[in-house]
Amino acid sequence: MLSRRGVIRLGAVAAGAAALPGTAAIGRRGRAWADVTAPPPFSVPLSVPETAVPVRRTATTDYYDMTIRDGAAEILPGVSTPIMGYEGRFPGPTIRAEAGRRVVVRQTNAMTHETVVHLHGGLVAPGQDGHPADAIAPGADRRYVYGNRQPAATLWYHDHSHHMEAEMVFRGLAGFYLLGDRRERRLGLPSGRYDVPLMLRDARFDEQGRLLFEMDDFRYRNTLLVNGRPQPYLRVAGRKYRLRLLNGSNERYFTLRLGEGDGDAMTVIASDGGLLPAPVTAASVTLSPAERVDVVVDFARYRPGTRVVLHNTDGTDDATTSVMRFDVGHRVPDFSRVPERLGRAHDLGEAVATRDIAMNLDLSTGRFVIDGRTFDMDRVDMRIKRGETEIWRVHNRDVQPSVPHNFHVHGTHFQVLDRNGRPVTGHEAGRKDTVAVPIGGDVRLKVRFDRYLGRYLYHCHLLDHSSMGMMAQAEVIA
Ligand code: C2O
Ligand code: CU
Ligand code: CU
């Protein structure tokens, strides 16, 4: 049995004692800087998660069956690492959905402990959203119905178990859910093999190559993975690619810069919730945990043979500043394009109310709290009327000690107005479901729930924080 109270009590300190079955012994090692020799950067090829195949298709619906189970993955070359995975894989299979067509996923829990599946960024009914109260018991299954009534976007699915999401996502329970639509296809953006999802995250391994999870252990998670491979390389043709970047880390931020010097321009085309109204050129993009950004990069501007490194300028050493490398090949014909107009503007209109939401580490208890309280799934923390726009001012009060937080809302896409009073730009001006909240500062969001009544979570998506209580729920009322 898992000890949920243990996780909370241990708070910001290591919670090895609360580790999942079969992993308890791993959490007790000393905090050596590097427990395993990672391969030299850019020595393993990138892999792209396989696409899930429906077991059945009807005129309206694609049906999938997935089993959530313990498995093994070759993350470090030649090393078999125990993981938890959808279909036993890390990352899980990619679900490709089409707006207007339903997706029904039957998830069977073949693990020895509970799990629950959340579609991050999906506008789904509360009962399909993967609320921690709707856990799938070991041996049981649950059908998730996703209506896909929202614009094309890079979404992802991951575990959301009560107090355990940090460890379970860390151990592999995450996959892409790529939603397309007609409008997007008509634009002529790079597609097919030139549309590459990239799940960026960090990990920590012990000397035997097992994932080593300790709560809030971000300093020691120093191996960067892309789609489950350490600092890989990808051979690309000399043409345009769409790169769908997801920060799948529990706690690490990425500031991504392509190439050397000030960075080679990337064309930002989409944020969490889908296409921006117009492309934006950027030399770097910052992603806090769970954020997505889609960029188009034209590798035709490099001479064949050029090696272009994707850097993380938030990194502190070689292991954490080099994310992956693109090895540019010959030019090929390229009929894709990035039009001047992309998606619809996301304007939530006049707000009728404002509220403040405060996030902090409560130093007297060692707990991560929202408005002074840890998550209680039986408590409703706010009520909001369906169809009414509100301004939420979200504060990060953790100046001393300084702790980064971000803010994620289920069941809707919000509009970020400003951060510390300054308007946001680039991908942050698009449809968002997750946003960074600066230390000692605030972000203001326009939020509106348009569709379903019921309870939706909001929380810090530094998953170790949410697992330790930094989560709350809103009830959407008529
Ligand atoms: Cu990525 Cu509450 O979710
Ligand atoms: Cu979510
Ligand atoms: Cu946080």
Does the C-beta of 171 come closer than 6 Å to ligand 1?
A: no
Does the C-beta of 160 come closer than 6 Å to ligand 1?
A: yes
How large is the average pLDDT for residues 411-439?
97
Provide the pLDDT for residue 318.
Answer: 85
- Among the bound ligands, the one closest to the CA of 410: 2
Provide the pLDDT for residue 462.
Answer: 98
Does the C-beta of 459 come closer than 6 Å to ligand 1?
A: yes
Does the C-beta of 162 come closer than 6 Å to ligand 1?
A: no
How large is the average pLDDT for residues 1-30?
37
Cα–Cα distance measured from residue 224 to residue 250, given in angstroms and rounded to the nearest whole number: 12
State which residues have CB under 5 angstroms from ligand 2, the bound ion.
Answer: 120, 410
Q: What single-letter amino acid sits at 23?
A: T
211-250 pLDDT per residue, tens: 999 999 999 999 999 999 999 999 999 999 999 999 999 9
| CA 411 to ligand 2 centroid distance, Å | 8
How large is the average pLDDT for residues 300-314?
97
**Can you list the positions of beta strands (E) in 215-291?**
223-226, 229-230, 233-238, 240-247, 254-258, 266-271, 274-282, 284-287
Does the C-beta of 465 come closer than 6 Å to ligand 1?
A: no
How large is the average pLDDT for residues 428-435?
98
Q: What is the separation, in whole angstroms, between the first and last Cα of the chain? A: 40
| CA 416 to ligand 2 centroid distance, Å | 17
Q: What single-letter amino acid sits at 428?
A: E
Does the C-beta of 448 come closer than 6 Å to ligand 1?
A: no
Q: What are the residues whose beta carbons fall under 8 Å from the beta carbon of 122, sequence distance 6 or more?
A: 129, 146, 150, 155, 177
Atom of ligand 1 lying closest to residue 466 CA: 2
| CA 126 to ligand 1 centroid distance, Å | 13
Cα-atom radius of gyration of the chain, to the nearest Å? 21
Atom of ligand 1 lying closest to residue 457 CA: 2
Of 17-26, 101-110, 271-280, least confident by mean pLDDT is 17-26
- Among the bound ligands, the one closest to the CA of 273: 2
- Among the bound ligands, the one closest to the CA of 411: 2
Does the C-beta of 158 come closer than 6 Å to ligand 1?
A: yes
Neighbouring C-alpha atoms within 13 Å toward the C-beta of 135: 17
- Report residue 16's pLDDT band, with 50, 70 and 90 as the boundaries: very low
CA distances from 422 to 69, 155, 282, 285, 425 (A): 45, 27, 18, 17, 9
Q: What single-letter amino acid sits at 463?
A: L
| CA 414 to ligand 1 centroid distance, Å | 14
| CA 263 to ligand 1 centroid distance, Å | 31
Query: Does pLDDT of 254 surpass 80?
Result: yes
Does the C-beta of 408 come closer than 6 Å to ligand 1?
A: yes
Atom of ligand 1 lying closest to residue 459 CA: 2
Atom of ligand 1 lying closest to residue 130 CA: 2
Helix (H) or strand (E) segment spanning residue 64: strand 61-74
Rounded to an integer, what is the distance from CA 206 to the centroid of its chain? 24
Portion of the chain with pLDDT greater than 70, in percent: 92
416: helix, coil or strand?
strand
Average pLDDT for the chain: 93
- Among the bound ligands, the one closest to the CA of 159: 1
Atom of ligand 1 lying closest to residue 290 CA: 1
* DSSP annotation of 348: -
| CA 471 to ligand 2 centroid distance, Å | 11
173-206 pLDDT per residue, tens: 999 999 999 999 999 999 999 999 999 999 999 9
| CA 77 to ligand 1 centroid distance, Å | 30
**Can you list the positions of beta strands (E) in 390-438?**
390-396, 405-409, 415-419, 422-423, 434-437
Does the C-beta of 457 come closer than 6 Å to ligand 1?
A: yes
- Among the bound ligands, the one closest to the CA of 160: 1
| CA 377 to ligand 3 centroid distance, Å | 18
Residue ID of nearest Cα to ligand 1 atom 1: 120
| CA 461 to ligand 3 centroid distance, Å | 6
- Among the bound ligands, the one closest to the CA of 459: 1
53-110 pLDDT per residue, tens: 999 999 999 999 999 999 999 999 999 999 999 999 999 999 999 999 999 999 999 9
Provide the pLDDT for residue 3.
Answer: 37
441 and 419 Cβ atoms separated by less than 8 Å: yes
Provide the pLDDT for residue 38.
Answer: 86
| CA 120 to ligand 1 centroid distance, Å | 5
Q: Is 339 or 207 the better-scoring residue by pLDDT?
A: 339
Provide the pLDDT for residue 9.
Answer: 33
Residue ID of nearest Cα to ligand 1 atom 3: 120
Neighbouring C-alpha atoms within 13 Å toward the C-beta of 17: 11
Of 21-25, 190-194, 445-449, least confident by mean pLDDT is 21-25
Which residues on adjacent β-strands are paired with residue 83?
Answer: 71
| CA 334 to ligand 1 centroid distance, Å | 37
Query: Does pLDDT of 268 surpass 90?
Result: yes
**Could you tell me which of 410, 332, 385 has the C-alpha nearest to residue 128?**
410
Query: Does pLDDT of 472 surpass 90?
Result: yes
* DSSP annotation of 156: E
